[in-house]
Amino acid sequence: MRLPSQLDLARGLTLADLATAWRPLVMTSGKLASAYALERRSPYLARELVEFAYRLPVEHKISDPAQGKGILRDAAKALGLPKEVWASRDKLGFASPVPSWLNGNLAAWADAQINTALADAPAAFRLLLEGGLKPGGRFDRTRMQALMAAAWFSD
């Protein structure tokens, strides 16, 4: 049996996100934002852009999860936009409390779950699981994603 490479894994996870999370997100986010008089935009969902992003090498997608939007920041730098634009962190999204829980009171529990899964996980999933052992930032979903993968291996 051939184990998936990092590229296969990244593309597989992307397809899983597109198949399960993308449509409900697009369909409900606008309605939910409107219910609370919030502006909500999803500008990066044009089909051509999604297809282009899917074809990008994995290192352009997963370089520094804590930084976020790295490829967009790199593009802004290349276009010569001032640092105040591409380095700005003043426009932040609505943060879920889950990353702070998993890096705070639930950190030991999360680490135990991930370490248990690492013992039996296929090599292709080790990078994802090991990434979950590193505390992330306010918007970083790496630990949560690692916990979901760990749940797969727990049964």
- Domain locations along the chain: 1-61, 63-92, 95-155
Report pLDDT for 115: 92
pLDDT by residue, tens only, the chain of 155 residues: 455 565 577 778 778 877 777 777 666 766 767 776 666 666 566 778 878 888 887 777 666 655 667 788 888 899 999 998 888 766 655 667 888 888 889 999 999 999 999 988 888 788 888 888 887 776 677 888 888 888 887 76
Report pLDDT for 6: 59
As to burial, measured by CB atoms within 10 angstroms (0-12 exposed, 13-18 middle, 19+ buried), residue 150 is buried
Please give the sequence-ordered ranges of beta strands (E in DSSP) within the chain, or none if there are none.
none
Report pLDDT for 14: 77
Token representation of residue 29: 């986010």
Question: Dihedral (C-alpha) 16, 46, 28, 142: value to the nearest 10 degrees?
Answer: 40
Report pLDDT for 109: 94
